Amino acid sequence: MTPVRSLKTGLIKGTMLVGNTKYTPTVTVDYLVVAGGGAGGSIAGSDLTSGGGGAGGLRCTVTATGGGGTLESALSLVTGTNYTVTVGAGGAVTAWQNAGGSGSNSVFSTITSTGGGGGGRYNGGAGVTGGCGGGGAHVSGSGGTGTTNQGYAGGNGSSTNGYGSSGGGGGAGLAGGNGFNGTNDEGGSGGNGVATSITGSSVTYAGGGGGGTTGTISTNNAGGTGGGGAGATRDANGVAGTANTGGGGGGGSHYANTPPSGRPQAAGGSGVVILRYPDTRTITIGAGLTGTESSASGGYKRATITAGTGNVSWA
């Protein structure tokens, strides 16, 4: 009689042993990785304005991704293994004669989104290249370029001397608007962001900051949808990008030195990392990170990480 051989099944250091074959359990993870947005550029002197900050670069596997690119691919990761996450800070406001501070990169495993470019400084400063480009300042400051498959360029500053207005920062879904000289010398609007349903609801991220204007109204230098801050007018300060959207900060205005400090530019908003995975898995969010895991919904759980640098893993 031929002997019957038993089939052994067991676990060996995170791998499953079936007979003589080892299987490594994996988890498929969708992601939204948004970098920090750039700040508006600096202002100085009378009748000068600065460009809006570019939004943080956006990479996503659900609904849409940044820069009009092809949807990103989900990652297949090994359970019980640490993967790096970094949430990029928003760009800081800088001293006069400087472009706005650029946002910091956000990272998940092998995926990096580039921080948004700062807005151009007063009197012809160019916007900074980034995930989305910063807006150029008047006179004739050029918008910074965006990063392929992450975001768009900033707008250009108006071309005339004297009263003028600056370009809006680029967004993940649309380029920043150009500043122009008209009745109200209006700054360019921030480029709109991108909407994704990775959380289960449609939310827009990574809008650019509006350019500063010497005008009195702000309809045309609004921040882009997705957290972009409005640019300053002669009556109002620039508005900061919204935290955890990667929105760019609004540019500044220094119309006729009133008030003496002008209407200042604003900082960029911090980024965010959102991870979606099957509800049979549970994430560990490591030290150094601020984040939460959602309840199961629609077959998935989601982890939203809003600050810090550290590791995540799945079981």
Per-residue confidence (pLDDT) for residue 34, from 0 to 100:
99
- Whole-angstrom distance, CA of residue 90 vs CA of residue 55: 9
What is the phi/psi pair of residue 274, to 5°? -120, 130
Domain boundaries, the chain: 31-73+88-273
- Whole-angstrom distance, CA of residue 233 vs CA of residue 259: 12
Q: Count other C-beta atoms under 10 Å from residue 308's C-beta.
A: 15
Per-residue confidence (pLDDT) for residue 178, from 0 to 100:
95
Per-residue confidence (pLDDT) for residue 58, from 0 to 100:
99
Q: How many residues does the chain have?
A: 315
Per-residue confidence (pLDDT) for residue 163, from 0 to 100:
64
| 165 neighbors 158 (Cβ within 8 angstroms) | yes
Per-residue confidence (pLDDT) for residue 182, from 0 to 100:
67
Per-residue confidence (pLDDT) for residue 59, from 0 to 100:
99
- Whole-angstrom distance, CA of residue 181 vs CA of residue 123: 15
Question: CA dihedral defined by 79, 84, 90, 92, rounded to 10 degrees?
Answer: 170
- pLDDT tens across 53-81, in order? 999 999 999 999 999 999 999 999 999 99
Residues of the chain below pLDDT 70: 1-23, 45-46, 161-163, 182-184, 217-219, 256-261
- Whole-angstrom distance, CA of residue 201 vs CA of residue 151: 22
Per-residue confidence (pLDDT) for residue 255, from 0 to 100:
72
Q: Which residue has the tokens 């991108």?
A: 194
The separation between the first and the last C-alpha atoms of the chain, rounded to the nearest angstrom, is 44
Per-residue confidence (pLDDT) for residue 4, from 0 to 100:
38
Residues 6 or more apart whose CB falls under 8 angstroms from that of 42 comprise 50, 93, 94, 95, 96, 97, 98, 99, 100, 121, 122, 252, 265
Per-residue confidence (pLDDT) for residue 160, from 0 to 100:
72
Per-residue confidence (pLDDT) for residue 159, from 0 to 100:
83
Per-residue confidence (pLDDT) for residue 215, from 0 to 100:
78
